[in-house]
Amino acid sequence: MSPSYRYKNKALDTQQYSSAVVLDVRQAFDKVWHQGLLLKIKQTLPAVYFNLLNSYIQHRYFVTTHNNETSLSFPMLSGVPQGRILCPLLYTIYTADIPQSDTTTLSTFADDTAIFTTHPDPTLASANLQVYLHTIENLTEKWRLAHNIHSPVWILSPSVHQPDNRTPCRDG
């Protein structure tokens, strides 16, 4: 069962309102800023891994060709090599410091992020989500990422348990 499904069911079971939004980073793997990634690798992994990944990320160049003319080579300052096994791992390291919140739950997979919040008051459920989105916005600006909001915010009403007014049937 997916985390989002479990979260929505928990909100309904506890008679709370739930707000959620799904974010997707535009060109996520292309936008990984090398210096920021290397800083995070240096802070979290042993030096031997830093040296290895530094040589893997740095010293990459690109050229363009147009009408049989090829440009000079230019250094790549962002992006991780796509289609390689390390790409999702490097992206995860780059985004692993997304702040946690007492009022929201985060569910991530590669460049997709779902944010959930519940509260007995629907206005506060939405307000908690909005506050957290501002936090994410500040972080993504700092680390040079941009999110697309793919799914609108939704509010789920608590289910209302109606008493069972049926009269039991009796034989004979």
Task: Give residue-wise pLDDT tens across range 106-121.
Answer: 888 777 788 888 888 8
Q: Which residue has the tokens 């004979």?
A: 172
Would you state the pLDDT for residue 120? 87
* d(C-alpha 165, C-alpha 131), whole Å: 43
Q: Residues 6 or more apart from 108 whose CB is under 8 A from it?
A: 95, 98, 114
User: How many C-beta neighbours within 10 Å does residue 140 have?
Assistant: 17
User: What's the pTM?
Assistant: 0.66
Query: What was the pLDDT predicted at 70?
Result: 95
Does residue 108 or residue 35 have the better pLDDT?
A: 35
CA neighbor of 103 nearest in space, from 25, 16, 37, 35: 16
Position 46 scores a pLDDT of 94
Q: Evaluate the CA torsion angle 50, 56, 58, 59 in order and state its sign.
A: positive
State how far the alpha carbon of 167 is from the alpha carbons of 43, 159, 162, in Å: 67, 23, 15
48 pLDDT higher than 70: yes
Contact status, residue 1 vs residue 7, Cβ threshold 8 Å: no
